[in-house]
Amino acid sequence: MHRITLILLLLVFVLSLGVAHAAAPLPQSDGQEYTVQADDWLSKLADKFYGDVFNWPAIWLGTNAKAETDPGFAKIDNPDVIETGQKLWIPGAEEAAQLLAEYSGAAAPATAASGKLVVVWEIPVQLDPAFASSDSEIAVLNAVYDYLVDVDAGNNIRPRLATSWAVSGNGLQYTFQLARGVTFHDGSPLTAADVVWTFDRLRDPALELPTADLYANIASIEAASDTEVVFTLKETNPFFLFDLSDNHAAILKANTQDAATTFNGTGPFKVTNYIPEDRMTFAANDAYFIPGKPGVAEMEFIFFSDPAASVDALRSGQVDLAMRMPTPLFLTLKEEPGINAVAVPTNGFDAVRLRTDRAPGNDPRVIQALKLATDRQAIFDTVTLGLGAPGRDTPIGPLYTAYYSEDTPIPARDPAAAKALLAEAGYPDGLKLDLHVPDSGDRPDLAVVLKEQWAAAGIDVNVLVEPESVYYGDNGWLEVDLGITGWGSRPIPQFYMDVMLVTDAKWNESHFSDEEFDALAKTAGTTLDEAERVAAYKEIQRILIERGPIIVPYFFPQLGAIRDQFTGFELKAFAGRTDLAAIRPAQ
């Protein structure tokens, strides 16, 4: 996550110069060998050797050509995945130009899509991109549609439909160039008008979509041509590129009438059949604009509501890939023959939150009592079994290395003090609460541990475990007094401030409202002064620890497992954004 700091510094530099993200001439030199270092990726190396991140296919194709005659080189099946210590070939100017010409003409060698990938997910409910939230829903979007820009597994902004962009000197205007020759699944061409319509829809306050707050800072969006789109902001936003990669921002065809059922995207897979609550089948998009993707000819999503059944299906060979599972189930797969189990650190967390706009949560002493009754380290040890990281009651976790702070101490567990606070708040005989919990991940186990811990403070908890689709449905998580909500990992902490915690945010489930917090969140999200942002996030953490409405006991890892007949699987922190198009049968 140290890359976030680098990205912000680079962005400030770009803003100060008004430099366009544009092509640079190829170097006039012979080719050379290069050994991959930690934190290298192809576009980064293309920038290093060619001065243009978009010349990365030259390295990919040049290395693959070398691998055919030199056993010291290994073929790169998935250009998104290179390994530390791997030997690459950096072509010289003439060779690189020829390779790039072949690539632009779609003549780049690529393994044809073959085979079938079967993935198990929880049951999706909302498949309109504007409303989708769960991993299964986002996975459908990521397969069927494309985003303007994407975020890789290292939280770096990567091109997707936008091949390049320029930022004005004042930081208020972003101009994007779109990939040419991209078509929707119905055969119609993608144009800038589709991008404009998509984001105008997401930001329209009259539609009351969950994304209205996220994009409220956009003053205008205009199509300068069929392949150029211009965003103008009201205020500077150093995280704007990350906002454009938000899960909901899948690009739709302009004037789409029913986005929940149309499935007309530009993405690597076409939907061939959908049986709600059962399965969805896909076929490879043969006209996909990114060479080498997808890697499989067919894909199927099977929907299970029981995580144990999902893992059993993986063991039995009924499915090939499973992601998002309780930690104990994941650990049973670590030594399973024929299965590769993967865990990656994330900033995803489970938030135990109490509504603050009505009793009992409108008395600050009640949430303080809940905090004092909670042993976070014990929860981390027993629920996540030591995987992930302990939480500190804020969404800003240790992976945000530039912003994370432990300066404000977390009070030690003190059930007696918690009981005294409840008595002062008018509950001398204790407090009875219904705790609403989705049936996914480790959340049911967390609820059981909280029930046991809080009982010592006189808090009687009735645990109500609900299907995830019910918990996140109407009259669910945004309405109940006490709940446990899983928040997926995001590449920047500002997302949580803007949509979860500032006053009247669309997903402010705790109905938290604090003027000092709101001012600090605005500063963190608009200033181009990194030191000022660091200071703001430090104060935000202090406020949330001292008087915030949430308990964050841990940051969970992302867990996944895939059968070893496949390659190219790179699990992302938000599992639904994992690039399934990069997976292909092992040779």
Q: Is the peptide bond before 238 cis (omega within 30 degrees of 0)?
A: no
Taking 90 as the threshold, does the pLDDT of residue 267 lie above it? yes
Both 534 and 405 in one domain: the answer is yes
Question: What average pLDDT does this structure show over 50-70?
Answer: 85
Lowest-confidence region among 211-215, 317-321, 356-360: 211-215
Count of domains in the chain? 4
**Owning domain of residue 397:** 349-555
CATH number at residue 288: 3.40.190.10
CA distance 380 to 108: 48
pLDDT on residue 103? 67
Lowest-confidence region among 54-63, 263-272, 526-535, 567-576: 54-63
Q: Does the residue 23 lie in any domain?
A: no
Both 309 and 280 in one domain: the answer is yes
Q: What is the pLDDT of residues 336-349, one digit of tens each?
A: 999 999 999 999 99
Single residue among 230, 262, 294 that ends a domain in this structure? 262
Dihedral sign from CA coordinates of 369, 405, 498, 235: positive
Both 500 and 382 in one domain: the answer is yes
Q: Does the residue 24 lie in any domain?
A: no
Q: Does the residue 213 lie in any domain?
A: yes
Residue 18 DSSP symbol: T
**What burial class does residue 549 get, using C-beta atoms within 10 Å of its C-beta: 0-12 exposed, 13-18 middle, 19+ buried?**
buried
**What burial class does residue 47 get, using C-beta atoms within 10 Å of its C-beta: 0-12 exposed, 13-18 middle, 19+ buried?**
middle
pLDDT top residue among 497 and 23 = 497
Q: Does the residue 15 lie in any domain?
A: no
Taking 50 as the threshold, does the pLDDT of residue 586 lie above it? yes
Question: What average pLDDT does this structure show over 579-586?
Answer: 94
Both 278 and 317 in one domain: the answer is yes
CATH number at residue 495: 3.10.105.10
CATH number at residue 97: 3.10.350
Taking residue 484's Cβ as centre, other Cβ atoms within 10 Å add up to 25
Single residue among 208, 236, 262 that ends a domain in this structure? 262
Single residue among 228, 262, 296 that ends a domain in this structure? 262
Q: Measuring CA to CA, which residue among 172, 170, 151 is closest to residue 218? A: 172
Tell me the pTM.
Answer: 0.77
Both 156 and 248 in one domain: the answer is yes
Q: Does the residue 133 lie in any domain?
A: no
Question: What average pLDDT does this structure show over 510-519?
Answer: 97
Both 288 and 392 in one domain: the answer is no
Query: Collapsing DSSP states into helix, strand and coil, what is residue 124?
Result: coil
Exposure string of 5-21, with b = 16+ CB inside 10 Å and e = fewer, is: eebbeebbebbeeeeeb
The angle, 0 to 180 degrees and rounded to 10, between the axes of the packed helices 2-17 and 530-547 is: 140
One-letter identity of residue 304? F
Q: Does the residue 564 lie in any domain?
A: yes
pLDDT on residue 17? 31
Both 511 and 375 in one domain: the answer is yes
Q: What is the pLDDT of residues 231-257, one digit of tens each?
A: 999 999 999 999 999 999 999 999 999
Taking 70 as the threshold, does the pLDDT of residue 8 lie above it? no
Both 409 and 476 in one domain: the answer is yes
CA distance 211 to 368: 31
**What burial class does residue 219 get, using C-beta atoms within 10 Å of its C-beta: 0-12 exposed, 13-18 middle, 19+ buried?**
exposed
Q: Tell me the backbone φ, ψ of residue 536, rounded to 5 degrees.
A: -65, -45
Q: Does the residue 324 lie in any domain?
A: yes
CA distance 532 to 5: 13
Q: What is the pLDDT of residues 276-324, one digit of tens each?
A: 999 999 999 999 998 889 999 999 999 998 999 999 999 999 999 999 8
pLDDT on residue 23? 37
Q: Beta strand 566-567 with 584-585: parallel, antiparallel or unpaired?
A: antiparallel
Q: Does the residue 131 lie in any domain?
A: no
pLDDT above 70 as % of the chain: 93
pLDDT band at 506 (very low <50, low <70, confident <90, very high): confident
Both 306 and 354 in one domain: the answer is no
pLDDT band at 53 (very low <50, low <70, confident <90, very high): low
Both 387 and 340 in one domain: the answer is no
CA distance 318 to 117: 11
CB 74 within 8 A of CB 86: yes
Both 395 and 439 in one domain: the answer is yes
Torsion of CA 466, 469, 475, 477, to 10 degrees: 70
Both 258 and 273 in one domain: the answer is no
C-alpha 424 chain-centroid distance: 42
Query: Collapsing DSSP states into helix, strand and coil, what is residue 482?
Result: strand
CA distance 4 to 400: 8
